[in-house]
Chain A
Amino acid sequence: MACSAVRAPLLRNTTVRHYAAAAAATQSAPAQNLDIQVLSNKITVATLDNDSPVTQVSVTFKAGPRNETYETQGTSHVLRLAAGLTTNRSSAFGITRNIQQIGGNLTATTDRESIAYTLQCTRDKLDVGLKFLEDVATRQVFKPWELNDQIPRLRYELSSIPETTRVLELLHKAAYRKGLGYSLYSPKQRIGKIGTENLQHFVNTWFTGPRCAVVATGVSQEQLNKFASQLQVGSSESSGEPARYFGGELRKERSSSLATVAVAVEGAGLNKEKEAIAFAILQRAAGTGPHVKWGSTSAPLYRTVATAAGKDPFAVSALNASYSDSGIFGFILTAPGNIAGTLTTAASKWLLKPSVTDADISRGKAELKAAVLYATDNSIARHESLAQQALFKGTVASPSAIIAEIEKVSAADVKNVAAKIGKGKLSMAGIGDLDTVPYVEELK
């Protein structure tokens, strides 16, 4: 006998598929409004309003080790460490506490040509964050006693730089001697010698409106314009010296079982855009090391070195760094001291007469495009890339526009720049166990 409850439609298996069969709602891609304009105080303001819950705002200046002189080396390192110290409006404690209280991050990032003060916080707390970002980026006072307190931190940072980073610093020094050659890190003999006046002079000279870009993701253009237009920055349009490539060699012997060697010639700066992209493609074509754990790669540079190395461990990667008006292209290599010499010779032989096939070039292109798109995926990397574009080119390009630019570079263009490498002057840097590593004259 069937009970009436069983007959109730709710308790029977449904034969109709309700929401399971509903069409998936079309996901509307977040609005991506790229906008850039130059304000009356000559600050370039770029925004990407992408509805991101986390807002990133950077105040960047074209000021870095490149703008130092022989006497003021290390200034930009101290300047980076001094981010967050007392300003003329808020104390170090106030800045730290307020930023932590809104759950934000405030970082200073330097590369050879620029310094970026970046704030990351949630959108609703932006007003508080911007106030302290302005303090940190434009209202520094550099109290001497606070600078003194940073010395142990500076020493610690210097002692923890890995050799692979040091070798690039040495390579730049050998290649450019000054300007771009000055290190991101303060030389040891300059510790404690960079005082309030040095820093203030550096800030007054280089932290000016025409050398400044304010870049943000996740903010509307109007809000950022309001913030940028009231920044107190100078208006002088000082321009640094143009970069000049010399070439040379620097070696540093250290008690390490490994040798790290970097060899390079002059590449292309961002002012020669097409060549710069060609060099970037050539870098990927030559090989930046295996992409798979424990794996190998068919890239020519890697294969050349692997043949020379046999069963010994080694790592090699093509190296390409483009700055606003110059660049370097070469390779960086690290291996145990006893075989580093052979590998360096083999790799430089390839570098001076690079042989890349069309297949290598198209693989290099694909790798570069993938790298550009992966960087777009990462909001921090994308923001950084926007800041660099706004600062150095005064324009911002969408990822698809950049991909289109890469597409335009033909295999012949890449082969052209590759052919030029052999004529360039070599720069070389070595660090670690340099027993077998040849001198630069021996590489030709």
Chain B
Amino acid sequence: MNVIARTSNLSPYLKATSAAIPNGLRPVAGSGKVQKSKVVVKSDVERLTSYSLSQALPTGQLRARSGITGIGAMQQIRLGHTDIRVPDFSAYRRKDVQDPTTKSRESAESRLTFSYLFTGAAAIAGAYSAKTVVTQFVTSMAASADVLALAKVEIKLDDIPEGKSMVFKWRGKPLFIRHRKADEIAREQSVAVETLRHQQHDNDRVKRPEWLVVIGICTHLGCVPIANAGEFGGYYCPCHGSHYDASGRIRKGPAPLNLEVPPHEFVENMVVVG
């Protein structure tokens, strides 16, 4: 039938075939046409009435017009709402106030507390570190440890007989060490403190009651007093007549203060001064 109805050389072109399930033996005829995306512009209105249809009809001469748009649709228009960038400070904002819709007053307390605590902590830490730094600089001006070690004297107490006051040299100054007798100790202990010019009890001035360690410089004008002399049986300054008792306290005369007790400590039967 086909042979009669259609010329054999045309018949392949008078029908179209497509394989529903490709089997790989007969190649599927590919069109070779690349699908290109089409510009589709939809009509602005759907015309359904006589009036809108008649508006679409052209009445005058058909013309096409275009303006100059050398570089695309170029316009010298600045759009304030898109062109100008509003400065963004959110990098500087706390998390609580990032959201513009929340009230900042609600988070004010917690933010303030944090600010104060943080500032306070920072201030304390700052003050301590400042103190450390300052002390370091100031102490650098003090004497070093070897110098301080040289500034000590050790005195054997066995060499000093009871009732005797001996003189040593300590840091260029005379140092009196007195081995007191029991009655001297009792006498000085019993002195009423309120009667003294420079009120110090004997116990405050000695570490072992039988040993008195004082610097032998009169507190008046710096003379060296004489031991076992004066009205109170202790020291007497010959320059202006200051009388010290057996505890080195001023009892009479112009000196204002007691004889100075240097820092000292006893190690067994030895005293270390300095």
Residues on A facing B (Cβ under 8 Å): 77, 80-81, 83-86, 91-93, 95-97, 99-101, 105-112, 136, 146, 149, 153, 155-160, 162, 164-165, 168, 184-185, 258, 288-290, 293-294, 313-317, 321, 332, 334-335
Contacts and interface: CB of A to CB of B under 8 A. Distances in A.
Contacts of A258: 47, 53
A110 B68 contact: no
A103 B41 CA distance: 31
Interface string B51-78: 1011111110111111111111011100
A315 B63 contact: no
A321 to B, nearest CB: 7
Contact of A106 (B48, B68, B74): B68
B57 A84 contact: no
A86 B70 contact: yes
Contacts of A85: 70
Given A97-B76, A164-B57, A258-B47, A111 B63 contact: yes
Nearest to A321: B61
A322 B74 CA distance: 37
B48 A313 contact: yes
Contacts of A149: 72
In the A-B complex, the 6 residue pairs with the smallest Cβ-Cβ separation, listed nearest first, are A92-B70, A84-B68, A315-B53, A315-B54, A160-B41, A159-B39
Contacts of B74: 93, 96
Contacts of B68: 83-84, 95-96, 99, 106-108, 136
B62 A162 contact: no
Interface in B62-104: 62-72, 74-76
B62 to A, nearest CB: 6
B26 interface: no
B50 interface: yes
A96 B54 contact: no
A157 B65 CA distance: 11
Nearest to A150: B69
B9 to A, nearest CB: 29
Nearest to A306: B50
B73 to A, nearest CB: 9
B70 A93 contact: yes
A299 to B, nearest CB: 12
B208 interface: no
B43 interface: yes
B68 to A, nearest CB: 3
Contacts of B148: none
A334 B64 contact: no
A435 B48 CA distance: 18
B47 to A, nearest CB: 7
B145 interface: no
B58 A165 contact: yes
25 contacts: A80-B64, A83-B68, A85-B70, A86-B70, A93-B74, A96-B69, A96-B74, A108-B68, A109-B63, A109-B64, A111-B63, A160-B41, A162-B56, A165-B58, A184-B62, A184-B64, A185-B64, A289-B57, A289-B59, A290-B54, A314-B53, A317-B59, A334-B47, A334-B56, A334-B57
Given A80-B64, A111-B61, A164 B71 contact: no
A80 B66 CA distance: 7
B41 A159 contact: yes
Nearest to A297: B54
Contact of B67 (A92, A106, A165, A315): A106
Contacts of A96: 68-71, 74
Interface string B26-53: 0000000000001111010001111101
Given A95-B70, A100-B76, A258-B47, A332 B65 contact: no
Given A184-B64, A288-B59, A335 B53 contact: yes
Contacts of A91: 70
A417 to B, nearest CB: 19
Contacts of B47: 258, 313, 334
A111 B39 CA distance: 25
Contacts of B61: 111, 321
Contacts of A81: 66
A158 B40 CA distance: 10
A334 B53 contact: yes
B55 to A, nearest CB: 8
A109 B60 CA distance: 14
Contacts of B41: 156, 159-160
Nearest to B51: A294
A171 B40 CA distance: 24
B67 A313 contact: no
A302 to B, nearest CB: 9
Contacts of A156: 39, 41
Contacts of B40: 159
Nearest to A114: B63
Contacts of A99: 68
A111 B62 contact: yes
A36 B41 CA distance: 44
A187 to B, nearest CB: 14
B63 A110 contact: yes
Given A110-B63, A168-B62, A293 B70 contact: no
Which of B47, B49, B57 has the most chain A CB within a 10 Å cutoff?
B57
B50 A313 contact: yes
B53 A293 contact: no
A105 B67 contact: yes
A433 B128 CA distance: 93
A120 B237 CA distance: 124
Nearest to B68: A84
